[in-house]
A and B are shown apart, each in its own frame.
Chain A
Amino acid sequence: MTTGAHLPAFGWSSLRAAGAALAALLLAAAAVGQPSREYDLKAVFLYNFATFVDWPESAFPGPDTPFVIGVLGDDPFGAALDEIVAGERVKNRPLAVRRCRDLAEARACHILFISASERDRLREVLRDMAGRPILTVADVPRFVESGGMIGFSTGARVQLHVNAGAVRNSGLTISSKLLRVAVVREVAATP
């Protein structure tokens, strides 16, 4: 095959330079292991919700049924959530984290974090969860307005938004201590 005479303006020397820059970055990455804080924070909030919310007895079929925090969709927490709940008990039950693959698995959770990856089917998910004793949490914009229960908004700090109507309809009770620090909204249930 004939070689094209039309070589780009950038040649192999820039390729080598890019390689060196890449190597430098990789070394930098190895030296720094500090996790960023946003999802560590949110994971701790999820854990706290377990103590600040009361579930009806019907949510726990057996005396040993664990308390399940579920993540639906791409998991943004990494190991943080597992680390936080490891060995902890809430309401005298062991805590467990479950990555849910589908709605059927999500229905078996007590707290369900709906990842941003599920944005497009948010309404479908919320419709499915509606009326069940499952605390739905997410950090996608307008989550509470869409019928979700607790929304995180994230700027320089994390803020909590609570949809009091949706919580009530599901049979859950949120402690006033949590309600005091959250932005509480009354949003009509999604049709």
Chain B
Amino acid sequence: MKLSPAASWTFRSVCRRRLVAFFALAVPASASAQAVLTPAQLKGLSVEQLLEQEVLSVSRRPEALGEAASNLYFLNAGAGRLTGALSLPEALRLATNLFVAQSSSHHWGVTARGFLRTNAHSSKLLVLIDGRSTYSPLFSNVFWDTTDTFLPDVEAIEVMSGPSGANWGANTVNGIINVRSKPAHDTLGSLLHVTGGSEVWQVAARQGVRFGKDGAVRFYLTRTEREPTLSPQGTEDNADGWHATMGGFRADWGAPAGGRFVLQGEGLVGSFDTRPLPRAEHDAGHAMLTWHGPERSGAHTWGRLYYDYSRRNINDALLQTTHTVDFEFQNGMELAGGQRLLWGGNFRRIRDSAEDTVGFVILPEKLWYNVLSGFAQYELPLPDDAWRATLGARVEDTGLGDVEFQPTVRLAWRGEDRTAWFSAARATRTPSRLDRGFHAPAAPPYFVTGGPDFGSEELYAFELGCRAQPRTNVSCSLTAYLHEYDSLRSVDPVPPINIENDVEGRSYGIEAQFDWQIRTGVRARFGGFWMQQETWIEPGGTDSEGAMGESSVPDHQVFARVMYDMDERTQLWLGLRRIGEVPAAANGGGVVPAYTELDAQVTWQARPGLELALVGRNLLDRSHPEIGGLNTRREIPRSIYARVRWRH
């Protein structure tokens, strides 16, 4: 008689169980408080017994960051394709906790939890692409025209509002954006995107192939042409058209058991008009090697080395160049009783220069300096299994004379379908070379003499949040925060004019998001924030900007989006946004009025591998401003374009 598989299995398991029982008696209790059965022992148990086993740790899974106990928003691979976004900041509008304001054809202001300058510069948000920092140490800002990536091959964009200096280092004060591209094995074959219509043209192509035993590589190229935005009066003045070409590659090889490697590189050349002044040029490039160590249970190690270069020539009145060599490593391990330790270090060598300046100078004109930091994060389950505490800290030597300590404490409670957390953290925005060395005029005698005593801006942040999935088709999150700022940047107006730390501030607010799958094929997302930002000059201090230098943010924004699968092959996406008024502290001042705009996209799968889309952006008005002072702000026009996506 042939035994059924189940019966034979039970017979074998009985034998095994006896063995297990024998060894359980023979082997003395292990050093850890709870005896843990080895996989071989577990193998001997019946299914019923396996189901009775207590789970010691629910934390070893490679945590999808979306599950993390923090205010983290996750934009997935299809974000760009879904919404017709052609640049990273446009895709970032999907994150309901980010304020994104387009200031010209090629620049956007992006921030979380406030603090944006009238010129759309944000010094308190860090942006990483595959772990590479795009934050300018010279200007304390992210220049979005040189911060691009091949959007069709983005795997995920993680957006976290609030400080995380302990994990990510200085300048992660109000938030972090981390863009991850797909492994080359997931982008085999050819891809061609052709987009064209009013305001924008773009061609994007990618080719992915396998190589060697287990390797894959992709190459990509994009060319983008953006029409100028409109003058403050809403007329065509052809002032800021933008033209950019980008090419790059990513190669992945190796196996999880023996270590994996990723080699990637990219180059970008672009220019934008700044009429009536001469055209401005920018170019950037990088090469990066990442190594992921052999995967063992509960432990991981990775190391990353990159070289990054960027150069901007603004109207022949400022030539800024930055070279960065960066090495970073991280190690994570499981300790007894479900504790986890994560630690790592980062060494960065920067050489930057600001030359050919007209009317001012940044001293010293050229500088080599090193940024060195190390961090550790320790996570421990509390006696009640559902609670976990995380303690982390980073110590960073900024290379400009400061040592920063950025600690964080996080307490998380995790239930089956809900998570709640509380966190407290200190984070700092370190001085940029501009803060320290800005001198005017271009030659002595100077009447602006930089900020020799300018130190880091400080934040003490407190956050309370929860995330829940109360029903299969509903998930939501709600976060409340209080940020206390100290030593914010100020400009002493009395000669010798100096950059100092005389401003203090406070912000508080709520961020919320609600996802609802209304029925099969119809999904909706609602979200946004409400916040208050107060800044003042500390007693005895001075500031020529009246403490309002970073006040160009709205007090609320609300998004409502619907995605509707009309049939098997047709999909409609609608995104409505309402943004509160944005005050301007410079360039003529005034207030950018609150606005409501609608984006839409219809996508049609013509046949497998061929997709057509029609995209409309800012459909409700001919044009509208999003940020800037009355004299210089640009009107962002309505835009309609079509896209063909071909995959083979």
Contact = CB atoms under 8 A, between A and B. Distances in A.
A28 B59 CA distance: 19
A18 to B, nearest CB: 6
Contacts, number: 226
Interface stretch (B181-189, B506-514, B579-587): B181-189
Interface string B19-50: 00000000000111000111110110101101
A78 B297 contact: yes
A73 B60 CA distance: 15
Contacts of A78: 295-299
Contacts of A119: 64, 66
B55 interface: yes
Interface string A116-127: 110111000000
Interface string B434-466: 001000000000000000111110100000000
Contact of A44 (B42, B188, B343): B42
Interface stretch (A4-12, A128-136, A164-172): A4-12
Given A15-B395, A83-B40, A101-B183, A25 B454 contact: no
B5 A8 contact: no
A6 B403 contact: no
B61 A139 contact: yes
Contacts of B456: 4, 6, 8
A102 B9 contact: no
B378 interface: yes
A125 to B, nearest CB: 11
A38 B59 CA distance: 8
A124 B4 CA distance: 35
A60 interface: no
Nearest to A40: B39
Contacts of A158: 50-51, 53, 55
A80 B52 contact: no
B605 interface: no
B368 to A, nearest CB: 10
Contacts of B299: 78
Nearest to A153: B416
Contact of B55 (A1, A35, A101, A156): A156
Interface string A73-96: 111111110011000000100000
B385 to A, nearest CB: 7
Interface string B106-148: 0000000000000000000000000000000000000000000
A141 B417 contact: yes
A157 B405 contact: no
Interface stretch (B91-99, B264-272, B331-339, B594-602): B331-339
B57 A37 contact: yes
B401 A3 contact: yes
Contacts of B77: 120-121
B277 interface: no
Contact of B39 (A2, A34, A43, A178): A43
B521 interface: yes
Contact of B341 (A25, A34, A84): A25
Interface in A21-39: 21-22, 25-26, 28-29, 31-32, 34-39
B369 interface: yes
Given A4-B453, A51-B5, A38 B298 contact: no
A160 B216 CA distance: 36
A3 B641 CA distance: 53
- Of the listed residues B42, B186, B400, the one surrounded by the most CB atoms of chain A closer than 10 A to its CB is B42
A76 B60 contact: yes
B257 to A, nearest CB: 8
7 contacts: A8-B405, A14-B395, A18-B376, A34-B36, A80-B39, A101-B185, A120-B156
Given A32-B336, A120-B156, A178-B47, 8 more contacts: A1-B400, A4-B436, A8-B404, A44-B50, A48-B47, A73-B62, A101-B216, A141-B469
Interface of B: 4-6, 8-9, 30-32, 36-40, 42-43, 45, 47-48, 50-64, 66-67, 74, 76-77, 155-156, 183, 185-186, 188, 214, 216, 255-257, 295-299, 333-336, 338, 341, 343, 364, 367, 369, 376, 378, 385, 393, 395, 400-405, 416-417, 428, 431, 436, 452-456, 458, 469, 472, 487, 501, 520-521, 565, 568
Interface of A: 1-12, 14-15, 18, 21-22, 25-26, 28-29, 31-32, 34-41, 43-45, 47-48, 51-52, 54, 73-80, 83-84, 91, 99, 101-102, 115-117, 119-121, 139-142, 145, 153-160, 175, 177-178, 181, 191
Give the top 8 A-B pairs by smallest Cβ distance, nearest first: A6-B455, A78-B297, A36-B57, A10-B405, A120-B76, A3-B401, A74-B62, A101-B185
